[in-house]
Structure 1
Amino acid sequence: MNKTVTTLAELDALPAGSVIHHNVPDIEMAFVAFKDEDGKWLTCGDETPENSIEFASGLPYDVLFQPETPAPPAPLPEPVEVAEPKTPTYRNPKDGLDANNAVAVVYGHSDDCIEFDGLLYDEVGNYNTDEEKPHRVSLSNGVMFDAWYDKGGVWRFKVIAGHNLVTLDRHEFDDEQHDRYTDYLWIHGADGTGRLNLISGGPE
């Protein structure tokens, strides 16, 4: 190590385990000193036992060895608040369909509303949708789907992503469903936090 210190403050700043060499020929003074754990400098020569020594400022002291200063400990991470799982809320979809253990259900209401019941309880409004200009919705569990109100007066859904997490219950015209005007989209999985949120939803 090629380093020279000349002040008492610099000597004090050297960590325990450092070794210095002092050699001033003009005054015939030379020694090697070691800094112990208590911060004392000890010198040891061939004819001299270890002695605690004092230094004078302004003289050159060559640093022969300096231990690496350990890096400060990394700060502890900030505690992360974990949200409590949301309790599912259902409105009672019109046909009284069984959710089959789904966490949420999506269906249309009137001609301008998409309803979300269950773990995600929300409503999205959009006018003038059709199959060519659907309302695209993305959920926090990766499910993505298009929704539109068709010319026959029925809300339709088309799954774009997350097929393994949804069941599409298509509306078919028959005597038993005469008052139904929507498909049902059953969502069977939350996101990684145990919740389900609306990420985006707007006309495409």
Structure 2
Amino acid sequence: MSKRASSKYKIDRRMGENIWGRPKSPVNRREYGPGQHGQRRKGKLSDFGVQLRAKQKLKGYYGDVREKQFRAIYDEANRRKGDTGENLIGLLESRLDAIVYRAKFVPTIWAARQFVNHGHVTVNGVRVNIGSYRCKPGDVVEVRQKSKQLVSVLEAVQLAERDVPDYIDADHSKMVATFVRVPSLSDVPYPVIMEPNLVVEFYSR
């Protein structure tokens, strides 16, 4: 699990947005950043600051992926044909932990990474315990038999605050999800506006 798991609410407050759309987010009550000087940090951002914030927001959304790993994902997106921003979103959404989260097997992206790391998930019948494992269209992700009755899994399936997107075909009665296709930015149900084009500008400086 990421080192920043215990500080996930600070990411919301630093960004001033409820980036996961959680009902308990502190941003719902306080829109300023954490710490005693949080309310003073409302100055106008430079172009660099806007780009940095867009990168930190996208990186934080996926469980605060480490910078080295996130940069490697960007570099691959840049090497591929087509729009780099769209490629970046497609690669992030192809991660196993992201698919487990989107399929509503767990309540948060943080829980998804831990769930995968603890060996509760198989891909095409083979146990995989690496959250950053990249799935391909057609891959079948399933919760292992002994894990299907975990309270956290049963509760996550009932969450009304988010729906399973159409690029994932989830069967909650069997705890199986198929990664149907790589999504584009407009397909991904982000609770806030993500701007991968600014991330591309940040790394292209």
Structure richer in strand, relative to its length: 1
TM-score (norm 2): 0.19
Larger RCO (CA under 8 A, 6+ residues apart): 2
Whichever of the two has the greater Rg, that structure is 1
TM-score (norm 1): 0.19
